Amino acid sequence: MTNVVITGLGATTPLGGDVPTTWENALGGLSGVRTLDNDWAEKYGMPVHFAGQLAVQPSEVLTRPETKRMDPSAQMAIVATREAWADAGSPEVDPERLGSIVSSGIGGVWTLLTAWDTVRDRGAERVLPLTVPMLMPNSPTAYVSLEIGARAGAHAPVSACASGAEAIGMAYDMIVSGRADVVVAGGTEAAIHPLPISAFAAMQALSKRNDDPAGASRPYDTTRDGFVLGEGSGVMVLESEEHAKARGARIYGRVLGVGMTSDANHIAAPDPEGAGQTRAMQIALKNAGVQVKDVCHVNAHATSTPVGDMIEARGIRGVLGSHADQVLLSATKSMTGHLLGGAGALESVFTVLALRDRKAPPTINVTSPDPELEVDLVRDIPRALPADGQLAAINNSFGFGGHNVAVVFGTA
Amino acid sequence: MAKSEAEVLEGLAAIVAEETGLDAADVQTDKSFTDDLDIDSLSMMTIVTLAEEEFDVRIPDEDVKNLVTVGDAVKYITGAQA
């Protein structure tokens, strides 16, 4: 059996332009959510006036030609990939044993809609030739494969808000099945554009707390009123333990197992009983060979929607039973907003760092916890995980379409 | 107002520099787009599309293959303005 370890981390998020800054600000309980940096709300009559916008724009770190050739979703993935790859020691890997799996939930929405503006306003002849390679949803993973020279395969599983976690799950499978020794995996999303905001708002999915953007994402709070759209990317370098040890790599932690299920219940709403979510967690634990009693932390999907948060919380309680009283639950979307296809990847980065530091990050903005919540929620300040022994933690990600992904991580 | 060859070169060099990251000063009339400046066909089409807008000219696809050097493009654009 091949063991899979994590040897590099990268991110660009509403909390910071890299992993150390993002993690420090997450442990500090800061919010990355603020009023939109533009006039869209007034100009288009949008009901939502805020989002989790990037702390550092890719244009501040990439070259001008790079930002012109890549959709923002790919730019963010490249920023995160460069950090993760350098963090892993820029390893020499046989290109045919190196893969990339970096997902986006929505794809190059900025490129697509800007190109349509061009057709409508200036004519079809003005559409730029790079439009197609910029808008395709596999563009980020393709650019990552070019960046690192990955020839074992470049994939981009799309499952809405579960995409980033699914990418990590597939990367785990790719290594375990022997198709690759090293895979750069993660997710990215750049959908803070008037159309996606308006469309999510039309579903009644978004918080409308316009007078308090930083307090709008409040998973498990009784006054939660929807999720907050965020943007950014999280990427990790996954590697077979044998390969990592042979090159003396620093090991952050382990991917112990993955569970993926589908609801086949409704195109957008989660199964009200959370059966598919529960099965994903159970399958992941079984796949990992981890007992319920060994789980110390869960980074929940918890997007701050009235219905979704408690379906998941009941599922976690159902899977963990009375042991849930000893499990620290964190909902980091309270600080970052919801990165859609980037969410599962960024929260996997958080889960790995929580295990490394033995410290669960806080959930902010919870002033009156939902009375039905029967898991120990970490509020406002970080809390210590057990100081000794091997630890395991679960990261949940669920997506419109009924996609459920649970990834079990372990300490190094 | 038609632009001179020197003005077209300056404008074209700025477009090429923006697209490729090359120094505009390196975009000289004797340089080949593919062999010297390492510009692939998609980037070339991007440069052509931007140049059409910048200089208010039309460069049909069948003519693009004849634009081997920067000088070829400067001459074509200067002539097409008239």
Active site residues of B: 40
What confidence score (pLDDT) does residue A372 get?
Answer: 95
Taking CB atoms and an 8 Å cutoff, what residues of chain A touch B52? 125-126
Q: The tokens 């009023």 sit on which residue?
A: A35
Residue A301 a catalytic site member: yes
Residue whose C-alpha is closest to residue A219's, from A357, A71, A375: A375
Q: Which A residues 31-90 touch B at CB under 8 Å? A: 63-65, 68
pLDDT in tens, A310-364: 999 999 999 999 999 999 999 999 999 999 999 999 999 999 999 999 999 999 9
Give the per-residue pLDDT at A392.
98
**Three state DSSP letters for chain B:** CCCCHHHHHHHHHHHHHHHHCCCHHHCCCCCECCCCCCCCHHHHHHHHHHHHHHHCCCCCHHHHCCCCEHHHHHHHHHHHHC
- Quote the CA–CA distance of B71 and B81 in Å, as a whole number: 16
Low-confidence ranges of chain A (pLDDT < 50): none
- Domain A4-246 and domain A257-411 have a common topology: yes
CA dihedral A29, A33, A34, A37 (to 10 degrees): 140
Model ipTM value: 0.82
Per CATH, the architecture of A4-246 is what? 3-Layer(aba) Sandwich (3.40)
Chain A environment of B54 (Cβ under 8 Å): none
Question: Could you tell me the two tokens for B15?
Answer: 């477009």
In this predicted structure, the answer to whether residue B82 has a pLDDT above a threshold of 80 is no
Q: Give A223-237 as a DSSP string.
A: T---B-BB-EEEEEE
**Is B45 in contact with A129 (Cβ distance < 8 A)?**
yes
Q: What is the mean pLDDT of residues B53-61?
A: 93
Topology of A257-411 in CATH? Answer: Peroxisomal Thiolase; Chain A, domain 1 (3.40.47)
Q: What phi and psi values does residue A244 have, to the nearest 5 degrees?
A: -65, -45
pLDDT of residue B1: 74
Q: Who's near A14: CB < 8 A, 6+ residues apart?
A: A32, A33, A52, A53, A54, A55, A230, A231, A232, A335, A336, A337
Phi, psi of A262 (to 5 degrees): -130, 145
Give the gap in angstroms from C-alpha A247 to the nearest C-alpha of chain B. 35
Contact A128 B20 (CB under 8 A): no
Q: What is the pLDDT of residues B12-56, one digit of tens each?
A: 999 999 999 999 999 999 999 999 999 999 999 999 999 999 999
Q: How far is A123 from chain B (nearest CA, A)?
A: 11
Provide the shortest C-alpha distance from residue A170 to chain B (in Å): 32
Residue of A98, A92, A251, A102 whose CA lies nearest to A165: A102
**Domains defined for chain B, CATH in brackets:** 5-81 (1.10.1200.10)
At residue A1, the pLDDT reads 83
What is the DSSP annotation of A251-270?
Answer: --EEEEEEEEEE--S-SSSP
Which of B42, B53, B58 lies nearest to residue A129, judging by beta carbons?
B42
